[in-house]
Structure 1
Amino acid sequence: MKTMRHISLLFIAFILINASVFGQTQREKKAERQFNGFSFVSAIDTYDRMIEKDINKDYALRKLGDAYIMLREPEKALPIYAQVVQQPNVPSEYFLYYAQTLRANGDYDASKEWMKKYKDAGNKESSIVKNFFKNNDLASGIFNSVEKNTINKVNFNSKYNDFGAYVINQQLVFASSRHEAAAIKRVYAWDKQPLLDVYVANIENGSNEKATPLSGDVNTALHEGPATFSADGLKMYFSRNNSDQEKMDLNGREIRQVGIYTADFVDGKWQNSKPISLNNTAYIVYHPALSSDGKKLYFSSDMPGGYGGTDIYVSDINVDGTFGKPINLGAVVNTEGNEAFPFLHKDGVLYFSSDGHIGLGLMDIFAAVTNENNEIVNVINLGEPINSKKDDFGYYLDDEGFKGYISSNRKGGLGGDDIYAFTRIPPLTLKGQIFDAVNNEPVSGAKVILTRENGEELAYFITGE
Structure 2
Amino acid sequence: MRNLYFLLLFLFSFASIHGQLKEYKKEIIKADDLLRFENYNKAALIYDELVKKYPDDVYIQFKAGECYLFSEGRLGKCIELLEKVVPQYPIENKGNIQAIEARFYLGQAYHLNGRFEDALKTFEKLKSQIPPKRFEAIAKIKREMQYCKNALELKSKPVQFSITNLGPIINTEYDEHSPVINLHEDLLLFTSNRETTIAQAEKGELYVENIFYSRYRDKKWITTRAMDLNTEANNATIGISPDGTKLLIYQNDGIVGNIYVCEMKNDQWGELQKLPSPINTMANETHASFSMDGKTLFFTSDRIGGFGGKDIYSVNQLPNGEWGKVRNLGPDINTEFDEESPYIHPNNKTLYFSSEGHQSMGGFDIFKAIRNEDGEWGEAKNIGYPINTPFDDLFYAPTIDEQRVYYASKRDDGLGGSDIYLIEFPNDHPNELSVVGGFVYTPDGAPASEAKITVREKKTGNKEGVYRPNANNGKYIFIIPCGQSYTMEIELNKHKTVIKDFKVPSGKSFARKKTTFYLDPLVLKVDK
Higher mean C-alpha displacement, 328-337 vs 404-413: 404-413
Partner of 1:205 in structure 2? 220
Partner of 2:177 in structure 1? 163
Matched, 1:237 2:251: no
Unmatched segments (≥5 aa) in structure 1? 1-125, 243-254, 430-465
Paired letter, 2:230: N
Q: TM-score, normalised by structure 2?
A: 0.49
Matches within 5 A, 1:189-268: 192-203=205-216, 204-206=219-221, 210-214=223-227, 216=228, 218-242=229-253, 255-268=254-267
- Residues 358-414 of structure 1: CA distance to partner in whole angstroms, max 9, x if unpaired? 222321111013344231131111112311121111011111221121112344432
* Distance (Å, rounded) in 1 between the aligned partners of 2:290 and 2:202: 28
Paired letter, 2:192: S
- Residues 219-255 of structure 1: CA distance to partner in whole angstroms, max 9, x if unpaired? 111111123222322222211122xxxxxxxxxxxx4
Partner of 2:399 in structure 1? 398
* Distance (Å, rounded) in 2 between the aligned partners of 1:390 and 1:144: 18
Matches within 5 A, 1:404-423: 404-423=405-424
Paired letter, 2:157: S
Paired letter, 1:195: V
TM-aligned CA deviation for residue 184 of structure 1? 3.8
1:378 aligned counterpart, secondary structure: coil
Partner of 2:330 in structure 1? 330
Matches within 5 A, 1:60-459: 145=157, 147-155=159-167, 156-168=170-182, 170-180=186-196, 183-187=197-201, 192-203=205-216, 204-206=219-221, 210-214=223-227, 216=228, 218-242=229-253, 255-278=254-277, 280=280, 282-347=282-347, 348-427=349-428
* Distance (Å, rounded) in 1 between the aligned partners of 2:350 and 2:252: 29
TM-aligned CA deviation for residue 415 of structure 1? 2.7
TM-aligned CA deviation for residue 319 of structure 1? 3.3
Percent of residue pairs bearing the same amino acid type? 29
Paired letter, 1:219: N
* Distance (Å, rounded) in 1 between the aligned partners of 2:409 and 2:154: 24
Paired letter, 2:265: V
Query: Does the CA contact (< 8 Å) of 2:190 and 2:213 recur in 1?
Result: yes
1:272 aligned counterpart, secondary structure: coil
1:407–1:240 CA distance, 2 compared to 1 (3 A): same
Query: Does the CA contact (< 8 Å) of 1:408 and 1:417 recur in 2?
Result: yes
* Distance (Å, rounded) in 1 between the aligned partners of 2:157 and 2:187: 34
* Distance (Å, rounded) in 2 between the aligned partners of 1:403 and 1:372: 26
TM-aligned CA deviation for residue 345 of structure 1? 1.1
* Distance (Å, rounded) in 2 between the aligned partners of 1:224 and 1:356: 27
Q: TM-score, normalised by structure 1?
A: 0.55
Paired letter, 1:362: G
TM-aligned CA deviation for residue 171 of structure 1? 1.2
* Distance (Å, rounded) in 2 between the aligned partners of 1:428 and 1:363: 25
TM-aligned CA deviation for residue 353 of structure 1? 0.7
Partner of 1:65 in structure 2? none
Structure with more contact order per residue of length (Cα contacts < 8 Å, sep ≥ 6): 1
1:172–1:376 CA distance, 2 compared to 1 (3 A): same
1:305–1:428 CA distance, 2 compared to 1 (3 A): closer
1:269–1:291 CA distance, 2 compared to 1 (3 A): same
TM-aligned CA deviation for residue 273 of structure 1? 1.5
Query: Does the CA contact (< 8 Å) of 2:365 and 2:382 recur in 1?
Result: yes
Paired letter, 2:284: I
RMSD, aligned α-carbons: 3.4
Paired letter, 2:250: S
1:420–1:256 CA distance, 2 compared to 1 (3 A): same
Query: Does the CA contact (< 8 Å) of 2:199 and 2:210 recur in 1?
Result: no
* Distance (Å, rounded) in 1 between the aligned partners of 2:153 and 2:375: 23
Paired letter, 2:319: V
Query: Does the CA contact (< 8 Å) of 1:226 and 1:239 recur in 2?
Result: yes
* Distance (Å, rounded) in 2 between the aligned partners of 1:283 and 1:187: 27
* Distance (Å, rounded) in 2 between the aligned partners of 1:421 and 1:394: 12
1:419–1:222 CA distance, 2 compared to 1 (3 A): same
* Distance (Å, rounded) in 1 between the aligned partners of 2:259 and 2:281: 12
1:142–1:294 CA distance, 2 compared to 1 (3 A): same
2:221 aligned counterpart, secondary structure: coil
1:422 aligned counterpart, secondary structure: strand
